[in-house]
Structure 1
Amino acid sequence: MMQIIPAIDIIGGQCVRLTEGDFAQQKTYASNPVEVAKQFADAGLTRLHLVDLDGARARKPQNLAVLEAIASQTNLIIDFGGGIQSEEAIQQAFNAGANQITAGSIAVREPDLVQNWLETFGPDKIIIGADFRDNFISINAWAEQSTISLPDFIQQYLQAAAKTFICTDVSKDGKLQGPATQTYAQLVKTFPGASFIASGGVTTIQDVEELGAAGLTGVIIGKAIYEGTISLADLKRFVC
């Protein structure tokens, strides 16, 4: 069954959401991310996508205390991203309770380094973040467009033994206008050995059902939960 992965994005210790990754389009939903995480756990969800947006800007983790609090007060399986630029930062995240880390822009800028991480920590611990717009990879907090196509990027990392990819359609993230289901379905068809987690634009339970039918391993849901277009009760039937 497809994994349901709620998202918590952190700025200044608070639970926020951005639109298209734009820090100027920020909305705060809760002052205590730990309580939000507990609500997810109480609803039967088992995973969490935790993003340190302060860390992404500082290029080193800034909210490890939040990670540690969530990890110690819930049993959620946490993948952590934001500011992961070094092996030291990875170790800090694991020490604070992360089960996996997500390598985003650095996977584009420094592929040799991230390939070393895959060898050191193993592909079960390192998720590759494939943020894209118009089928090309986006980098630097989505402010820049690279010349690398999404399929080429996936192929590159599959050859480096990566297994799991979080694919975020930047143009849809935070807009509640539906996900890029066709793009994800094509990736699943092209790369049957990879695990793809869809992110960006998920708005309704029908979106979730369609992503499951397309063969996605998981789906990250953020704003739809906070805005109430998908309720935690709606998601219970997807929980194993």
Structure 2
Amino acid sequence: MKIIPAIDLISGKAVRLTKGDYNQKKEYSDSPVEVAKTFEEAGITNLHLVDLDGAKAQKPQNLDVLQSITSNTNLKVDFGGGVKSSESLQAVLNAGAQQITAGSIAAKNPELVYSWLKEFGAEKVILGADVINEKIAISGWQEDSGLDLFPFLERYMAQGVTYCICTDVSKDGMLQGPSVDLYQKILKEFSGLKLIASGGVAELADLKELKDIGVYATIVGKAYYEGRITLEELASFQ
């Protein structure tokens, strides 16, 4: 199982939110590039970079930070936040990202994301499935799309999706454990999916449990930043 640390960006700085709430923001002193370098030096190979400004603006706003990270490290970066057009997707790839995450846009404009899968390939496009009670949540988790998770995944698998980041919104930033039952249901239903778990990891035991059930990778944010899991422990899973 891969470990993918997360860096969330607001105004070019590394921050963490709780349940996606911009009013519950904690800023970290180190620059995103320095944080990324620390991950790489520990042996981490991947990074999940989220442009929270871009998510609000509907267009990437921190491409300079992305470019700086990809220029100064060899990390494989997946980038999410504001990628709503083929032009912005190309700009993100040009700035050095290996993959983009299609979140709200995948629920709102599936035909566009289907076209990305054809044009750019399934290796470049990660499906973002943020869920509340097995319903897809969109627009920074403020809106219920009305879409059920399992039919949503089925449609995208039929279009060639390989990677999916699934976040249980109720768990995000809460440090109360991940949605193991939900991930087991998804893996049972879609055996070919490279499932990336996100949200709720609080301690090393959570990572071991996720590894045991067979998730492809796990995104870790707050548990690392709050000192619950050390960098050495994260790197040991690589």
| TM bucket, shorter chain | over 0.9
- Counterpart residue type for residue 190 of structure 1: E
Q: CA RMSD in A?
A: 0.7
Maintained 8 Å contact 1:176/1:224: yes
1:55 partner SS: helix
Q: Contact 1:13/1:31 (CA < 8 Å) preserved in 2?
A: no
How far 1:236 sits from its partner (Å)? 2.5
SS at match of 1:30: coil
* Count, aligned residues: 238
State the match for 2:64 in structure 1: 65
Cα distance in 1, alignment partners of residues 172 and 41 from structure 2 = 26
* Correspondence for 2:98: 99
What residue identity is the alignment partner of 2:73? T
Query: Could you tell me how far 1:31 is from its partner in structure 2?
Result: 4.5
Quote the residue 2:181 is aligned against.
Answer: 182
Deviations 1:147-204 (A, max 9, x none): 2111111101001111110000111101111110110011111100111000001111
Which residue does the alignment assign to 2:147? 148
The one-letter amino acid of 2:184's match is A
List aligned pairs for 1:117-136, cutoff 5 A: 117-136=116-135
Tell me how far apart the structure 2 counterparts of residues 30 and 89 of structure 1 sit (CA, whole Å).
29
Aligned amino acid, residue 182 of structure 1: D
> Which residue number corresponds to residue 55 of structure 1?
54
Contact kept, 8 Å, 2:3 with 2:235, in 1: the verdict is no
Counterpart residue number, 1:138: 137
Specify the SS of the correspondent of 1:65. helix
Deviations 1:30-89 (A, max 9, x none): 351000000000110000000000000000000000000000000000000100000000
Amino acid at match of 1:228: G
SS at match of 2:236: helix
Please give the per-residue CA displacement for 1:77-108, whole angstroms capped at 9, x wherever unaligned: 00001000000001100110000000000000
Structure 2 residues not aligned, in runs of 5+: none
Equivalence map 1:1-240=2 (5 Å): 2-239=1-238
Which is worse superposed, 222-231 or 143-152?
Answer: 143-152
In 2, Cα distance between the equivalents of 1:110 and 1:199?
A: 23
In 1: Cα distance, 2:30 partner to 2:65 partner: 12
Stretches (4+) displaced over 6 A: none
- Whole-angstrom CA distance in 2 between matches of 1:104 and 1:111: 10
Amino acid of the structure 2 residue aligned with 1:49: H
In structure 2, C-alpha distance between the alignment counterparts of 1:236 and 1:85, rounded to whole Å: 33
Contact 1:20–1:171 (CA under 8 A) maintained in structure 2: yes
TM-score relative to the length of structure 1: 0.98
C-alpha displacement of 1:122: 0.3
> Normalising by structure 2, what TM-score?
0.99
C-alpha distance in 2 between matches for 1:39 and 1:199: 21
Measured in 1, the distance between the counterparts of 2:164 and 2:186 equals 11
Partner secondary structure for residue 8 of structure 2: strand
Q: Counterpart amino acid of 2:28?
A: Y
In 1, Cα distance between the equivalents of 2:119 and 2:181?
34
